[in-house]
Amino acid sequence: RECFCSFTTTGDILTQELLCIFGTGDLGRSLGQRLLQTGYRVVYGSRRPHSCGPLPERAQVMSHAAAAQSANLVFICIHRENYDFLETLAPELKGKVLVDVSNNVEKNLYPEANAEYLQRLIPGAHVVKAFNTLSAWALQNGPSDANRQVYLCGNNAEAKQAVSVVATKLGFTVLDRGSVSAAKELEDFPLQLFPEWRLPLRLAVGLTAFFFFYLLIRDIISVYIKEKKDISFRIMVSLANKVFPIVSLIMLSLCYLPGVIAAFLQLYRGTKYKRFPDWLDRWMLCRKQLGLLALGFAFLHVLYTLIIPIRYYVRFRLSAITVSENRTPEFDTTMAWRTDSYYSVGILGFGLYLLLGITSLPSVSNALSWREFSFIQSKLGHVTLFFCTFHTYLYGWDKFLRASSYKWYTPPGYMLCLVLPSVVLVLKLLLLLPCVDRSLTRIRQGWERTNPD
């Protein structure tokens, strides 16, 4: 049986394997540098072996043909447009593992993936697509938490194994994406621009715009129309400090709503083995981004709240009240309870919110077991949603029952934003009922309800 991995051990002493790199650009040089640091020997294949620019020390340079013959594994670090000449090297590359690291400048530029094209040019070689999602910088500096993964695909299992061994030795985690037909998807990866942030960002912009105009009309323009009073200065702090927490609370509930929907769907279907609808899958996949954006909005709310006492408008009103009443106003115990309660619950909610945000960072979540992660993100997540919702209910206090709260027959923003979190919390409470919880746990452990038909 052919073996591509000639990295042999003699006791503990490694006999250094020779790897070949075609291409002396940034990526080729960085890769060579890392391979040398890891203990491999490196030979570059070049059109001009004697004048190919600066290369890592200890690397050899040869013609393409000679370099290809000397190693079993060849990294192709050249642009696809220059692949044609490789066809002439087909005899030297026969039976070798070719690692295609190339990318394109835009999607769908060619009908087939670069790796498939390479395989077509040299049918006798075993092409593996790998390392293309890493930058030259990441290769040179070694893996960090953000770029630990190397995706690979190819048709030959042994060839993929040989590339996996090299990637693992370089400190990366290998994710096998299957046959070479997955190469197109891998080549599109680096061209994507924050794909999983797109929906949450759109939602955040949409909600912010909606509540901004809703509150602008309701709280500022309405006062101008009714009382001819210009309070437009309130846009900067008062309005912002309404819009941001409202959007934050809605987005936080949107993080937990798909989980609740999924649980009810499993209960309804009586099995966990049926796929969720695509929209639910996509929604669940962007929960982390939804949560992080929601945390950002909550953070803004807290910063705006901190500056309330130093605002000119607030200081002016305080001194005006003291002068007009000319005595210490009477102490209102109910008001003290109300404000202290909603501040305190808000602070608790924000503390847990921060914990959720921190534990969603890969460097932290990687250090947690699945049970710990799901405890924080699910159990504490719902407690956070409860605290933030309760904070808003306490802020509203008895205003829910006052007719004067409903200007122009419209509810204030905080009442509107309470609808979704309240629904999520009630549904979650239903799921926690012992009889429901028991059925759901059984379904999640693999039990299936058999339908009479």
Give the nearest distance from C-beta 227 to ligand HEM in angstroms: 20
Pick the closer one to ligand HEM by CB: 172 or 244: 244
Residue 366 to residue 353: CA distance in whole angstroms: 19
Query: Looking up tokens 């309005």, which residue turns up?
Result: 239
Encoded one letter per residue, x for contact with ligand HEM by CB under 6 A and - for no contact, window 401-440 reads -----------xxx--x-----------------------
Tokens of 194: 């924050």
98 forms bridges with which residues in the sheet?
74, 127
Asked whether position 391 contacts ligand HEM by CB under 6 A, the answer is yes
Rank residues 132 and 392 by Cβ distance to ligand HEM and give the closer one.
392
Whole-number minimum distance, CB 388 to ligand HEM, in Å?
A: 4
Shortest CB 401 distance to ligand HEM, Å: 17
- DSSP notation for 252-296: HHHHHHHHHHHHHHHHHHT-S-SPPPHHHHHHHHTHHHHHHHHHH
Options 42, 76, 246, 260; binder of ligand HEM; rule CB under 6 A: 246
Alpha helices by DSSP H, listed for 170-221, are 183-188, 195-215
Shorter beta-carbon distance to ligand HEM: residue 341 or 365: 341
Q: Which CB atom, from 140 or from 392, has the smaller least distance to ligand HEM?
A: 392
Contact 159, 183 (CB under 8 A): no
Q: Does 184 bind ligand HEM (CB under 6 A)?
A: no
Phi, psi of 103 (to 5 degrees): -135, 170
The nearest distance, CB 246 to ligand HEM, in angstroms, is: 5
For residue 324, the tally of other CB atoms under 10 A from its CB is: 7
Q: For residue 76, give the 3-state DSSP assignment.
A: strand
Within 300-329, the residues that bind ligand HEM by CB under 6 A are 301-302, 305
Distance, CA of 138 to CA of 258 (rounded, Å): 35
Instruction: Tell me the backbone φ, ψ of residue 138, rounded to 5 degrees.
Output: -65, -35
> Rule CB under 6 A: is residue 235 a binding residue for ligand HEM?
no
Contact assessment for residue 100 and residue 76, using Cβ atoms and an 8 Å cutoff: yes
Structural element, H or E, at residue 149: strand 149-154
Closest distance between ligand HEM and the C-beta of residue 272, in Å? 32
Q: Which is nearest to 138 in space by CA: 128, 127, 130, 146?
A: 146
Under 8 Å between Cβ of 373 and 405: no
Q: Which residue has the tokens 């009240």?
A: 321
CB closer to ligand HEM, 143 vs 349: 349
Q: Nearest distance from residue 165's CB to ligand HEM, in Å?
A: 48
C-beta of 365: minimal distance to ligand HEM in Å? 21
Q: Is residue 350 part of the contact set for ligand HEM (CB under 6 A)?
A: yes
User: Footprint of ligand HEM on residues 360-389 (CB under 6 A)?
Assistant: 388
Q: Which of 102, 132, 133, 248 binds ligand HEM (CB under 6 A)?
A: 248
Pick one of 245, 291, 381, 411: the residue that binds ligand HEM (CB under 6 A): 245
Nearest to 162 by CA among 190, 125, 121, 214: 125
Residue with smaller CB distance to ligand HEM, 259 or 421: 421
Give the span between the Cα atoms of 148 and 133, in whole angstroms.
10
Shortest spacing between CB 339 and ligand HEM, in angstroms = 8
Q: Which of 139, 187, 159 minimizes the C-alpha distance to 73? A: 159
Binding to ligand HEM, residues 330-349 (CB under 6 A): 343, 346-347, 349
Q: Considering only residues 67, 99, 113, 249, which one is a binding residue for ligand HEM as defined by CB under 6 A?
A: 249
Nearer to ligand HEM, 269 or 311 (CB): 311
160-166 LR contacts (CB < 8 Å, sep 24+) = 160/128, 161/4, 161/5, 162/4, 162/5, 162/72, 162/73, 162/97, 163/73, 163/97, 163/99, 163/128, 163/130, 165/5, 165/7, 166/19, 166/35, 166/40, 166/73
Q: How far is residue 290's CA from residue 360's CA, in Å, rounded to a whole number?
A: 11
Structure-block tokens of residue 241: 């400090």
Query: Binding string to ligand HEM for residues 110 to 149, with x set by CB under 6 A, is what?
Result: ----------------------------------------
Of 75, 121, 395, 443, which lies in the binding site for ligand HEM, with binding defined by CB under 6 A?
A: 395
Q: With respect to ligand HEM, which residue has the nearer C-beta, 113 or 239? A: 239
Report if residue 242 touches ligand HEM, rule: CB under 6 A: yes
Q: Is 241 in the site for ligand HEM (CB under 6 A)?
A: yes
Our finding on whether 239 is near ligand HEM (CB under 6 A) is: no
Question: Site for ligand HEM (CB under 6 A): how many residues?
Answer: 25
Distance CA 34, CA 15 (A): 17
Binding-site ranges for ligand HEM (CB under 6 A): 238, 241-242, 245-246, 248-249, 298, 301-302, 305, 343, 346-347, 349-350, 353, 388, 391-392, 395, 412-414, 417
